[in-house]
A = this chain, B = another copy of it.
Amino acid sequence: MSRVVILGAGFGGLACAKALANTSVDVLLLDRNNYHLFTPLLYQVASSLLNPSDIAFPVRSALRRAHNVVFRMMEVTEVLPDERVVVTAQSERIAYDWLVLATGARNNFFGQQAVERHAHALNTLPNALELRDHVLRSFERAARAPHDAAHHLTFVIVGGGPTGVEYAGALAELVPLMRRDFGPLRDAPVRIILLEGRDRLLGAFVPPLSAHAARRLEQLGVEVRLNDLLADVSATTATLTSGEEVPLGTLVWAAGVRPAPPGTLPFDRTKGDRVVVGPDLRATGHDRVFAIGDLGACPAAPDQAELPMLSAPAIQTGRYAARAILAAEDGRSIKPFRYTDKGIMAVIGRHAAVAELGPLKLKGFPGWLMWLVVHLYFLIGFRNRFAVLMRWGWNYIFYDRPIRFIVPKS
């Protein structure tokens, strides 16, 4: 039986493994974590609304009924396509007949080391928890040192894409709850500054929705700065390109990610460091290697532009790779990959979201309802759906964020 090795159990890798479940190939799925993470809701963990377990799901449980799929928690550090072998961090050599690269993306600080040192990112479970703790700790520090409150309670978020917008909104809605808990901080100045280098938020949406998002954030108290970015950062101050200096309590980086290949990959790469693939998502010159999701420069259709680094393209490219492998095993050929655009959405806060579903543009309450339904639907597992629904309901009714405790690293 042919052996398919899949690197990464994110949206792409897991979709591929599931599409190969109980077929005629042997599947080995590898990831350095033992869980699949529903990253679109990570900002809710970082803002004390959801528990990690609400959005993280053990990979083994997700694949329990897939008898031909074995999961192992390990990291791959080298790919040797000529030998059809991957090498793990423990120097183990694993042979493959088909390889699916789905290792996703990591933060891109564009070489700004000062930013990298001071910023909190929001793309893994550990860093989301760290950001949550840091934000809660900022309020505790402000309560301890009221003369320094303006410093501790200034939050600068860099990047006006969905992550930045959603986190800014969630943070703004956390502030009144914190004020209620911290008597002496009732009138303390809390600033949330959202920086976007371009002339509007949510560049992937149509301009009216961008404007709606900015307006709603401003209603929540967020200072939206367009055409502005970080010029310099120290431990206590952020200097913006506009020249303004703001005291720095918390810096959140939501301004970009780049592909996270497993070690140095011997494949052609694009300017953005994604693996160059053909219309069938195979790495150029390597018939037995697929690169999908954030890692592959997968075109929406032959000769079209590469897809954005989002969960929907990852899932669709993962399923396509599975179909292509099964077809090749049967000696059949399949049509080139073609992306089905189901739309994009971002939530700003209670009763406010923007959604673009083909010709349909939603905002405000209808957009928010749509967002709720879609996110619940795509969460893995009934238990997680139920837990998230319960917690959203609690938050909705009581305006409360229950998961507000700081767990220091021991």
Contacts and interface: CB of A to CB of B under 8 A. Distances in A.
Contacts of A52: 51, 405, 407
A137 B35 CA distance: 12
Interface in A60-106: 60-61, 64, 70, 72-74, 90
Contacts of A311: none
A35 B405 contact: yes
Contacts of A143: 72-73
Contact of A144 (B51, B90, B400, B402): B90
A379 to B, nearest CB: 13
Contacts of A90: 144
A113 interface: no
Nearest to A121: B410
Given A34-B140, A51-B53, A144-B73, A181 B64 contact: yes
Nearest to A36: B405
Q: In which size bucket is the chain A interface?
A: 35 or more
Interface stretch (A125-133, A263-271, A286-294, A367-375): A125-133
A386 B390 CA distance: 10
B130 A60 contact: no
The 5 closest A-B pairs by CB, nearest first: A126-B410, A35-B405, A60-B181, A73-B140, A53-B403
Interface of A: 33-35, 51-53, 56-58, 60-61, 64, 70, 72-74, 90, 124-127, 129-130, 136-137, 140, 143-144, 180-184, 383-384, 386-387, 390, 394, 400, 402-410
